[in-house]
């Protein structure tokens, strides 16, 4: 079975500050890794994904994430956040052998002016 843990339910940060949203996963098989963003009253949109290759992946809106296999982590980072980044962020895994897409509980990023 697989599980995804997002350690922080809420992350408050001031505008232009850096941010890191943490994600750890557990799986007995290899997985693909994703970060999705959900703006208020909307569905989820893909920010970035890791399939293979370079462990540092860049996504939309200036976000990037680094896959660390030994720590089974896939933390999301942005060097300078904007008010418009206020949203809920979800980490997800998709096992190689099932195509099931499993989400963490989400981290609410609140950016203050």
Partner 1 sequence: DAGVIQSPRHEVTEMGQEVTLRCKPISGHDYLFWYRQTMMRGLELLIYFNNNVPIDDSGMPEDRFSAKMPNASFSTLKIQPSEPRDSAVYFCASSLPGGGGKAFFGQGTRLTVV
Pair 36, 89: CB distance under 8 Å: yes
98 binds partner 1 (CB under 8 A): yes
Question: Residue 74, interface with partner 1 (CB under 8 A)?
Answer: no
3-class secondary structure, 64: strand
Q: Among 8, 13, 24, 95, which residue interacts with partner 1 (rule: CB under 8 A)? A: 95
96 binds partner 1 (CB under 8 A): yes
Binding residues vs partner 1 (CB under 8 A): 31-32, 34, 36, 41-46, 49, 51, 90, 94-96, 98-106
């Amino acid at each position: 079975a697989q599980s995804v843990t997002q350690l922080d339910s809420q992350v408050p940060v001031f505008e232009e500050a850096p941010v890191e949203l943490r994600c750890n996963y557990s799986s007995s098989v290899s997985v693909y890794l994703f970060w999705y963003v959900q703006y208020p009253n909307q569905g989820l949109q893909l920010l970035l994904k890791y399939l293979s290759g370079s462990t540092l992946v860049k996504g939309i809106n200036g976000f990037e994430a680094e896959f660390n296999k030994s720590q089974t982590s896939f933390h999301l980072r942005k060097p300078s956040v904007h008010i418009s980044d206020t949203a809920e962020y979800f980490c997800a895994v998709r096992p190689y052998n099932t195509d099931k897409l499993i989400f963490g509980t989400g981290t609410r990023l609140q950016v203050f002016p």
